[in-house]
Chain A
Amino acid sequence: MSSTGTESTTATAAVLALGDDALILSHRLGEWAGHAPVLEEEVALANIALDLLGQARILLSMAGDEDELAFLREERSFRNLQLVEQPNGDFAHTIARQLYFSLYQHELYTELAAGNGPFAPLAAKAVKETAYHRDHAEQWTLRLGDGTEESRSRMRAALDALWRFTGEMFQPVDGLDVDPAALETRWLAALGAVLDRAGLALPEGPRTGAWAAGAGRQGLHTEPFGRLLAEMQHLHRSHPGASW
């Protein structure tokens, strides 16, 4: 059995960062099953969650046993962004989280796919899926931003609320061969273009800093993450070694 934590190599740090982002966001999106506002949206969010789960399985398998890594690690061993662990909130919060993350993931995977590092095969595959995730988030941002006064104010509130979690995406990760500053420039440009079309302004305020959240990559997580893990890991931990 491979060790699942403390002695992370640099490659493992990058694998866990990308794998945990996909796993945790997949779990959050899965929480919409049975609760989405319309059937088509329920199916869409579940489909996106499934894509992310597939990516997570491949990534975590690069670092060890996927089940052990997903279900038996403690909170402090997870390396996902704090953004993806944030609760679903109202539908606008979910869409704002999707917009911030899918723009980031799509830009990141586009760059990784073009290289020849260990993530290139997965990124080349996944970037075609993230293009649909990004498109989904953009379409909804346009509809909510350019919809009613209610939808517009909710979308604005959601964008503002999650803004402080976005700086973390552009902190360097050991073993991830990308230029964070260039990635951030492209992300801001893409985000600005969508928000502009939606009639929404780019949120103001810091996206990182001493006061701000932003340490998920170091294993520091926000309060809602513990409850997410409890639900996600409960079954596996209650029945160790169980199989179908």
Chain B
Amino acid sequence: MTAAAQTRLEAELAELAGSVPDPELPVLTLAELGVMRGVTMHEDGHVEVTLTPTYTGCPAIEAMSADIERALTGHGIPDVRVTTVLSPAWSTDDITAEGRRKLAEFGIAPPRPHSAGGPVPLTLSVRCPNCGSTDTELLSRFSSTACKALRRCVACREPFDHFKEL
């Protein structure tokens, strides 16, 4: 009887939680980043939101949890619990097309699609988010956050972050 209503409420809450901006890349929502795994309304009235981390050590996960709790509490849900799940592991392929577009607009080269597991061999070119040139070079596989690599555009000489493939 209430199953349909609950599902609708869950969908509504999932959309709300998914619209929370990523704390480190605020141009992206958590849904666009692909880290939202589900929202469940439990019998005792508490709402469980499941998230998956981008990297196991990603410190943003705690801020994400707090932001989701705040968003749902503000929507009238008194008891919100955010849990993290590891499996199936998050991949940069989980970033939505809209998320990729926003990353590029924000000056971060989006990740390339995967073929196999592990780091992608650096044969496909990464496009400079500033001038659009594909003539770019890797400076370091590690950058300002765990999920990014540092590159430089050979054409316009600007350094830029690349959301590296995982």
Which of the four size classes fits the interface of chain B?
20 to 34
From residue B146, how far is it (CB to closest CB) to chain A in Å?
A: 5
B90 to A, closest residue via Cβ: A125
The stretch that binds A, out of B5-13, B23-31, B137-145, is B137-145
Q: CB of B88 within 8 A of chain A?
A: yes
Question: Are A128 and B166 closer than 8 Å at their CB atoms?
Answer: yes
B140 to A, closest residue via Cβ: A40
Interface size on A, residues (CB 8 A): 28
Question: Are B142 and A58 closer than 8 Å at their CB atoms?
Answer: no
Question: Are B86 and A131 closer than 8 Å at their CB atoms?
Answer: no
Q: CB of B123 within 8 A of chain A?
A: no
Q: CB of A184 within 8 A of chain B?
A: no
Q: CB of B56 within 8 A of chain A?
A: yes
Given A132-B119, A135-B119: A51 and B56 interface contact (C-beta under 8 Å): yes
Q: A54, A57, A120 — which one has the most chain B CB atoms within 10 A of its CB?
A: A54
B92 to A, closest residue via Cβ: A128
Contacts of A41 in B (CB 8 A): 140
From residue A14, how far is it (CB to closest CB) to chain B in Å?
A: 17
Contacts of B66 in A (CB 8 A): none
Given A43-B143, A131-B119: A54 and B57 interface contact (C-beta under 8 Å): yes
Our pick among A40, A51, A58, A124 for the contact of B89 (Cβ within 8 Å) is: A124
Q: CB of A220 within 8 A of chain B?
A: no
Question: Are A44 and B86 closer than 8 Å at their CB atoms?
Answer: no
Q: CB of A186 within 8 A of chain B?
A: no
Chain A stretch 128-142: residues in CB contact (< 8 A) with chain B: 128-129, 131-132, 135-136
Question: Are B57 and A125 closer than 8 Å at their CB atoms?
Answer: no
Q: CB of B53 within 8 A of chain A?
A: yes
Question: Are B56 and A136 closer than 8 Å at their CB atoms?
Answer: no
Q: CB of A103 within 8 A of chain B?
A: no
Q: CB of A202 within 8 A of chain B?
A: no
Complex Cα distance, B164 from A50, in Å, reads 16
A49 to B, closest residue via Cβ: B57
Question: Are B146 and A51 closer than 8 Å at their CB atoms?
Answer: yes
Question: Are A122 and B86 closer than 8 Å at their CB atoms?
Answer: yes
Question: Are B146 and A50 closer than 8 Å at their CB atoms?
Answer: yes
Contacts of B142 in A (CB 8 A): 40, 43-44, 46-48, 132, 136
Complex Cα distance, B142 from A48, in Å, reads 9
B139 to A, closest residue via Cβ: A40
Interface string of A5-48 (1 = CB under 8 A from B): 00000000000000000000000000000000000110110111
Contacts of A52 in B (CB 8 A): 57
27 A-B residue contacts at CB 8 Å?
A40-B139, A40-B140, A40-B142, A40-B150, A43-B143, A48-B142, A50-B59, A51-B146, A52-B57, A54-B53, A54-B56, A54-B57, A54-B58, A55-B57, A57-B57, A58-B86, A121-B86, A121-B89, A124-B86, A124-B88, A125-B87, A125-B89, A129-B55, A129-B56, A131-B117, A131-B119, A135-B141
Given contacts A51-B56, A57-B57, 17 further A-B contacts (CB under 8 A): A43-B142, A47-B143, A50-B55, A50-B57, A50-B146, A52-B57, A54-B53, A54-B58, A55-B56, A58-B86, A124-B86, A125-B89, A125-B90, A131-B117, A131-B119, A132-B119, A132-B164
Q: Which residues of B contact A (CB under 8 A)?
A: 53, 55-59, 85-91, 117-119, 139-144, 146, 150, 164, 166
Q: Which residues of A contact B (CB under 8 A)?
A: 40-41, 43-44, 46-48, 50-55, 57-58, 120-122, 124-129, 131-132, 135-136
